[in-house]
Amino acid sequence: MPVVFVHGVPETAAIWGPLRGELARTDVITLSPPGFGAAVPDDFGATSDEYLRWLIAELELIDGSIDLVGHDWGGNHVQRVAATRPDLIRSWCNDVAGASDPAYVWHDLAQVWQTPGAGEAAIQQMFGAPFDEQVANLVALGMTTEAAKATAKAGPEMGKCILALYRSAVDLSAIDWGTGLSTEERRPGLVINATEDQFVGGPEFAHRAAERFGATEAVLDGLGHWWMMQDPTRGAAALNAFYADLDNR
């Protein structure tokens, strides 16, 4: 019964390194979405729907019941799997569940990326800087040096996928988040509520999401967007407690 981690934007699977060291299990698989630490197939358009199909195909190859964990856009992909293919998983965990709130509005940087011209300029500024400068900027935002270097190495290919992904999901209300699933269809969920994450609308959005999905809520007071690197011990404790509860049901 593996735990499968899926990361988001702009990052690679290196973000999970510190957390893995604190997790009370070793059956860990990290999946890298195309463009975010993995090659982009020639026919892949990097839209939200294509990432959903990619993740479903990857999960279908894994034996055993899966505990699925998503961060940032990885969290959105995870939520969509829980909504459309709950048969593939035992449980889900999402740290951007607040994006499913009807009142959620994309953060400022997302809106820039969604704007033709301005988005390309922002991506050029992000990935066009010297390598060491890119790393320093990401470390200042909260990444470990290892994770920052892995992200900077991804370069322009990641940038193109960022633009395509965000532009494919301007209207988040049009996405099936699974709020209409029956109690029998729903899988147990964990909403990570990192209270200082500036990209998810505020802690009240995560709290409301946990209530809508009937999920457990783990409040990580004082932690931000990259909580898994900022305090991996506390982040792992939330996951460990959630899985211990599932094992005892």
Sorted by where each starts, the structural domains of the chain and their CATH numbers stand as 3-106+172-247 (3.40.50.1820)
Instruction: Write out pLDDT tens, residues 9-24.
Output: 999 999 999 999 999 9
Residue 69 pLDDT level (bands cut at 50, 70, 90): very high
Average pLDDT, the chain: 96
Residue 106 pLDDT level (bands cut at 50, 70, 90): very high
pLDDT score at 3: 98
pLDDT score at 170: 97
pLDDT score at 156: 86
| b (16+ CB within 10 A) / e for 211-221 | ebbebbbbebe
Percent of the chain clearing pLDDT 90 (strictly above)? 97
Is the overall model pTM greater than 0.95, yes or no?
Answer: yes
The token pair that represents 117 in the structure block = 């011209």
Report the chain's C-alpha Rg in angstroms. 17
3-state secondary structure of 10: coil
Asked if residue 71 lies in contact with residue 174, where contact means CB atoms within 8 angstroms, the answer is no
3 φ/ψ sector (left φ>0, alpha ψ -120 to 50, else beta): beta
Task: Give me the mean pLDDT over the 177-185 stretch.
Answer: 93
Instruction: Write out pLDDT tens, residues 188-205.
Output: 999 999 999 999 999 999
Task: Give me the mean pLDDT over the 53-67 stretch.
Answer: 96
Predicted confidence (pLDDT) at residue 212 exceeds the cutoff of 90 = yes
Task: Give me the mean pLDDT over the 106-130 stretch.
Answer: 96
Task: Give me the mean pLDDT over the 131-156 stretch.
Answer: 94
- Which residue type is seen at 33? P
Predicted confidence (pLDDT) at residue 51 exceeds the cutoff of 90 = yes
pLDDT score at 155: 82
pLDDT score at 27: 96
